[in-house]
Structure 1
Amino acid sequence: MSDEEDGPSGIHCRLDELLAERGMTVTRLSELVGVSVVNLSVLKNDRARAIRFSTLTAICDALQCDVGDLLVRR
């Protein structure tokens, strides 16, 4: 995979996969965590350059997962 596919940092966000496993939409996750659909899309498309710990915690709580389930290094 190219660096572009892995995002600017080599970190890949598995948000799409986790949402699919749970039958949840980005819109529903947005409602649960209080983050805009646009910002979640930036994250899930590996275009985010940073994420607040509070946002990361809220996403993991909503998806009932650990940080390592959501973010992986490639």
Structure 2
Amino acid sequence: MGIVINLDVVMAKRKKGLKELAEEVDITMANLSILKNNKAKAIRFSTLEAICRALHCQPGDILEYVEEDCEKE
């Protein structure tokens, strides 16, 4: 799997909606939705910093490394 984005989980814990967070971070709802739905291929550090500031969290709360399954059948 690689890097998993847990933005939806952190947003739910903080009771922040997509529109509210998009406005606070100054990012389009479409781009934030891509992040939230774990479809992003990259994220700028400045965006990550703004998200962490708005959600009062650490980058590790949002980003998680999940080792890929080596056993393929």
**Shorter-chain TM-score: what band?**
0.7 to 0.9
Runs of 4+, deviation exceeding 3 Å:
none
Q: Which has the larger radius of gyration?
A: 2
Aligned counterpart, 2:71: none
Separation in structure 2 between the aligned mates of residue 44 and residue 11 of structure 1, nearest angstrom: 13
- 2:59 is the counterpart of 1:67: yes
Secondary structure of the structure 1 residue equivalent to 2:13: helix
What residue number does 1:31 align with? 23
Indicate the percent of aligned positions where both proteins have the same amino acid: 48
- The total of aligned residue pairs comes to 66
Q: Mark the runs of 5 or more structure 2 residues left unpaired by the alignment.
A: 67-73
Greater relative CO (CA pairs within 8 A, separation 6+): 2
Cα offset for 1:34? 0.2
RMSD of Structure 2 on Structure 1 (CA): 0.8
Paired amino acid for 1:24: K
TM norm structure 1: 0.85
Structure-2 residue corresponding to 1:21: 13
CA-CA distance at 1:46 after TM superposition:
1.2
TM-score by length of 2: 0.86
